[in-house]
Chains A and B, each alone.
Chain A
Amino acid sequence: MRAQNAGSVPQRIMVVRCPSLCGPDASVAGPQAARLFERVIGVLTGFCPDVEAAEPGVCAFGARGPARYFGGEALLASKIIAAVAELGVESRVGAADGMFAALLAARRAEPIDPGAVLVIPPGGTAGFLAAQPVSVLADQDLAGLLKRLGLGTLGDLAALPASDVASRFGDAGEAVHRLARGLDLRPLVGRPPAHDLSVAREFDPPAPLAEPVVFAAKTLAEQLHAGLAARGLTCVRVQVRVTWADGEESSRLWRHDGLLTAAGVADRVRWQLDGRRVGPGDGQYAQGGIGMLRLVPDQVVRATGHQLALWGEAVVSDRVARAAMRVQAMLGHEAVLRPVTGGGRNVSEQVSHVPFGEKREPRLAAGPPWPGRIMGAAPGVVYPVAREAEVTDDAGRLVTVSGRCVLSAAPARLVIGREPPRLITAWAGPWPLSERWWDAAAARRRARFQLATDDGRVWLAVVRDSRWLIEAGYW
């Protein structure tokens, strides 16, 4: 039962916020974040079918029913956090009367709190809101003005008569005043129940050859497209799920963007099946045959017309796309990458690798200056994972770098992993690099060196926590 008129108490709302998917600390961005958030919502619908995606990385639902079913809000919240953590996503949960207070509670829930949950008890919302600074308001201009007028907290604002606030600040002020008093009656906007738009075809007896399956895939794809079009939808990707005769399932996601024809989908099914073939030519499948083929639309969105450049800026010829997708069919979507040069302080950050078919954009923009990046020649070899090394001085002692970036002795020998030692013929450094010093958890302090060895090579080495690592090589 939802509160409908202004006089009643707002509904109990629970908000789940994933700090790694939203806001300034987001560690995942772009389509990956959207995909992950989609799965988070999927998990939440297991607790409550009516979940609203409030903003990227934040979702909300009415807490009353589920809390009663799961034995209280705190218990429900800890169950949700545990379920979302299984996806590898950290989450914070807040519960309060009304959406605004619940959002704030989720933002205030600290990881050190028991289970990262902040539950404002029923009736306590006004007190909780009163203590919040005005800077939590979305309208930063108004918040700045209120602060200059001496109204530091929402409590100060709520204490003013509503009519005075309305006459001084207009509609925006009135809305904020209502929020500050805890009278936030915006109803939840649930997601429409997801229709199952997937299509499937069973093969009984299991089909031993690819041909009939590919032929059926074309018909299935036509059904899928018709079902989506009837609802004005399209899908970003399509999942091809093959169930083999022995019960094993293999599934793969393919870029769709509403641009694939039925024949295009059938081609992808064929490539995916080819990846499982044992021998060359018309060989048999190790799994015996294909029992079922299912096409599932992934990331269903409103059809807003075709986008022009499917592959980002450069147009990829059909021939190249075919070759790349065949390899993706064999090894997986993430196995074929396109490099993009961008910015960053480390050599390994300066090139981002984007799976073929996704939009090519660098993880770190090249635009802003990156003080501390290594100038001069670029290394021909950049190790994806830095290699362990040991650098010793003339007397065989490990060379160390102090907190003030003072070297214990001149480096003389370099041992990488289990390789034989190399003599250092020239070197330069240490170049200190202190990243994210404002964040205690992510802060990294390093000192970098270039070391030339007697075999004519130059290595880019870094000292971190008194350990030597080789990040790249010049040859």
Chain B
Amino acid sequence: MLPALPALRDLLPRGGLARGSVLAVPEFGLLCLALAAGASAAGAWCGIAGVPEAGVAAAVGAGLDAERTLLVPDPGSAWPQVVASLLDGCELILLRPPATAPAQIRRRLEAVLRRAGGVLVVAGDWPGAQVRLRVITQRWTGLGDGHGRVRACCAEVTADGRGEAALTRTRWLWLPAEDGGVTVANPEDIPVPSIPVAGTSPGLRAVSAG
């Protein structure tokens, strides 16, 4: 079991990242980085493959140790071999496959993963994933109508999956909190949704999009 950030423990079966398992998040974002951050803060090496736009500064704020991080921004068509090689040295791999991986490649990588005792966090689709996490709502604070700046985000995260993870769990998290970390949000602190500044019927007029 690899440790997860305390705020994420309620969402994960047995409160951590089970070795040899795959976690899937439909889209790359802070949630993926937060999953890697807990393991990295506890001393694990992390590999990030196929995500050239990974915001390392935000991940460091959440607890990732940049010294124990390897980036392979563009693994290309050889990505299964790259992930298999990285698993020799890294305990957690954050991967965005170029496309939905064929079932045969998935099964082979899962076997390598179990043998190496690593954890694979997939930003994208992975049908056999043990745990699936997803951000359903995001409410940013600090930004006004022409003033302020982004401070923190209250995010509603839901988790489900297979086996012991089958029960759907939902939690409100500060992702990130004002200090850059990840914490559980108090129900009374959750900001109310904001209303669009612009007119409410954009469908009536053609928007010049070039």
List the one stretch of B1-9, B12-20, B200-208 in contact with chain A. Answer: B200-208
Contact between A351 and B194, CB atoms less than 8 A apart: no
Contact between A313 and B67, CB atoms less than 8 A apart: yes
Q: Which residues of A contact B33 (CB under 8 A)?
A: 380
Contact between B78 and A330, CB atoms less than 8 A apart: yes
Q: Which residues of A contact B138 (CB under 8 A)?
A: 456-457, 475
Q: How far is the CA of A472 from the CA of B86 in the complex (A)?
A: 27
Judge if B105 is at the interface, Cβ distance under 8 Å: no
Q: How far is the CA of A324 from the CA of B85 in the complex (A)?
A: 8
A353-B71, A381-B28 known; A454-B196 Cβ under 8 A: yes
A339-B56, A347-B57, A390-B210 known; A376-B142 Cβ under 8 A: yes
Interface centre among A323, A326, A454 (most CB of B within 10 A): A323
With both beta carbons as reference points, the residue of chain A lying nearest to B139 in the complex is identified as A456
Judge if B135 is at the interface, Cβ distance under 8 Å: yes
List the one stretch of A4-12, A21-29, A253-261, A407-415 in contact with chain B. Answer: A407-415
Judge if B52 is at the interface, Cβ distance under 8 Å: yes
Q: How far is the CA of A415 from the CA of B209 in the complex (A)?
A: 7
Judge if B187 is at the interface, Cβ distance under 8 Å: no
A338-B71, A381-B28, A452-B194 known; A413-B207 Cβ under 8 A: yes
With both beta carbons as reference points, the residue of chain B lying nearest to A472 in the complex is identified as B55
Judge if A314 is at the interface, Cβ distance under 8 Å: yes
- Interface mask (A332-354 → B, CB under 8 Å = 1, otherwise 0): 00011111110000010011010
Interface centre among B30, B74, B140, B150 (most CB of A within 10 A): B150
Judge if B137 is at the interface, Cβ distance under 8 Å: yes
Q: How far is the CA of A222 from the CA of B147 in the complex (A)?
A: 67
Contact between A379 and B71, CB atoms less than 8 A apart: no
Q: Which residues of A contact B209 (CB under 8 A)?
A: 390, 415, 421
Q: How far is the CA of A379 from the CA of B82 in the complex (A)?
A: 27
Number of interface residues of B (CB under 8 A): 68
B76: contacting residue among A331, A380, A415, A429, CB under 8 A: A331
Judge if A153 is at the interface, Cβ distance under 8 Å: no
Q: Which residues of B contact A326 (CB under 8 A)?
A: 85, 88
Interface centre among B59, B61, B72 (most CB of A within 10 A): B72
Q: How far is the CA of A377 from the CA of B61 in the complex (A)?
A: 9
Q: How far is the CA of A347 from the CA of B90 in the complex (A)?
A: 27
- Interface mask (B69-90 → A, CB under 8 Å = 1, otherwise 0): 1111111101001100111111
B196: contacting residue among A335, A337, A424, A428, CB under 8 A: A424
Contact between B89 and A323, CB atoms less than 8 A apart: yes
Contact between A392 and B67, CB atoms less than 8 A apart: no
Q: Which residues of A contact B189 (CB under 8 A)?
A: none
A376-B142, A379-B58, A421-B209 known; A320-B70 Cβ under 8 A: yes
A324-B70, A396-B208 known; A427-B198 Cβ under 8 A: no
Interface centre among A351, A353, A379 (most CB of B within 10 A): A351
Q: How far is the CA of A353 from the CA of B69 in the complex (A)?
A: 11
Q: How far is the CA of A305 from the CA of B180 in the complex (A)?
A: 43
Judge if A375 is at the interface, Cβ distance under 8 Å: yes
Interface centre among B82, B140, B145, B194 (most CB of A within 10 A): B140
Q: How far is the CA of A431 from the CA of B66 in the complex (A)?
A: 29
B55: contacting residue among A313, A331, A379, A426, CB under 8 A: A379
Contact between B144 and A475, CB atoms less than 8 A apart: no
Contact between B89 and A319, CB atoms less than 8 A apart: yes
With both beta carbons as reference points, the residue of chain B lying nearest to A350 in the complex is identified as B57
Interface centre among B28, B57, B73, B88 (most CB of A within 10 A): B57
Q: Which residues of A contact B140 (CB under 8 A)?
A: 426, 452, 456, 458, 474
Q: How far is the CA of A375 from the CA of B28 in the complex (A)?
A: 23
Contact between B72 and A336, CB atoms less than 8 A apart: yes
Q: How far is the CA of A475 from the CA of B85 in the complex (A)?
A: 30
Contact between B56 and A475, CB atoms less than 8 A apart: no
With both beta carbons as reference points, the residue of chain B lying nearest to A324 in the complex is identified as B70
Q: Which residues of B contact A303 (CB under 8 A)?
A: none
A339-B69, A394-B199, A424-B198 known; A320-B90 Cβ under 8 A: yes
Q: How far is the CA of A351 from the CA of B176 in the complex (A)?
A: 19
Contact between A377 and B66, CB atoms less than 8 A apart: no
- Interface mask (A381-396 → B, CB under 8 Å = 1, otherwise 0): 1111000001010101
Q: How far is the CA of A331 from the CA of B75 in the complex (A)?
A: 7
Q: How far is the CA of A105 from the CA of B180 in the complex (A)?
A: 53
Contact between A410 and B197, CB atoms less than 8 A apart: yes
- Interface mask (A24-59 → B, CB under 8 Å = 1, otherwise 0): 000000000000000000000000000000000000
Judge if B114 is at the interface, Cβ distance under 8 Å: no
Q: How far is the CA of A314 from the CA of B140 in the complex (A)?
A: 36
Judge if B152 is at the interface, Cβ distance under 8 Å: yes
Judge if A83 is at the interface, Cβ distance under 8 Å: no
A380: contacting residue among B30, B52, B137, CB under 8 A: B30
Q: How far is the CA of A153 from the CA of B71 in the complex (A)?
A: 54
Judge if A136 is at the interface, Cβ distance under 8 Å: no
Closest beta carbon of chain A to B171's beta carbon, Å: 16
Which residues of B113-170 have CB atoms within 8 Å of chain A's CB atoms? 135, 137-140, 142-153
Contact between A428 and B71, CB atoms less than 8 A apart: no
Judge if B60 is at the interface, Cβ distance under 8 Å: yes
Judge if A327 is at the interface, Cβ distance under 8 Å: yes
Q: How far is the CA of A78 from the CA of B16 in the complex (A)?
A: 65
Kindly list 16 other residue pairs between chains A and B, CB separation below 8 angstroms, not including A380-B29, A458-B153.
A326-B88, A377-B180, A379-B57, A380-B30, A380-B33, A381-B53, A394-B198, A396-B207, A410-B146, A412-B198, A423-B202, A424-B198, A452-B140, A456-B140, A474-B140, A475-B30
26 contacting pairs across A/B (C-beta < 8 A): A320-B45, A320-B70, A323-B70, A323-B85, A335-B74, A338-B66, A338-B70, A338-B71, A341-B57, A351-B56, A353-B73, A378-B60, A380-B30, A382-B57, A412-B197, A413-B207, A421-B207, A423-B197, A423-B198, A426-B143, A426-B148, A452-B143, A452-B150, A456-B138, A474-B30, A475-B153
Q: Report the 6 A-B pairs with minimum CB-CB distance, sorted nearest first.
A: A323-B89, A456-B138, A412-B198, A320-B89, A380-B30, A378-B58
